[in-house]
Amino acid sequence: MTDPQDLPPIDVKDDAGRLRRLVLAFVIGSVAASIAYFICDGMAKPDEMAGGFDGGHQARAYRFVYYTTGFAFAAVFSVALLIQNRIAKKRWREQLVMPRAKAKIN
C-alpha cells in the first residue's frame, strides 16, 4: 500500500472527470424522465378528462404524471451517478497502487 506522503498533492482542477460524470448522469436521467412522462401521460390522459383543474380528477392525473416523471429523473440520475463514481473510484485506486520493491538475497 502507498504511504500518504508518497501520493501526489490534491489538485484543484477537475482532472478526475466529475463534471463529465454529472452531465452524463443528467442526460441519462433526462431520457428516463422523458420516457416516464410519455408512459404516464399515455396512461392517465389528463387532457382528455372532464372537469377543470380545480383539484379533481384532472389535477390528480397531472400530479401523477409530474411526480412520477420527477421521481424517475431523480432515481435514474442517482443510480447513474453512483455507478459512474464507483467505477471512477476503482480506477483511481488502481492507479494509486505502486509495486513494492523486493529485496533479493543471494
The overall average pLDDT reported for the chain is 85
In this predicted structure, what is the pLDDT of residue 5? 75
Question: What is the per-residue pLDDT across 24-51, written as a single tens digit (0 to 9) for each?
Answer: 999 999 999 999 999 999 998 888 877 6
CA–CA separation, 78 and 25 (whole Å): 8
Note the pTM of the prediction, 2 decimals.
0.72
Spans of all domains in the chain: 17-96
- pLDDT category at 13 given cuts 50, 70, 90 is low
Residue 67 is classified by DSSP as H
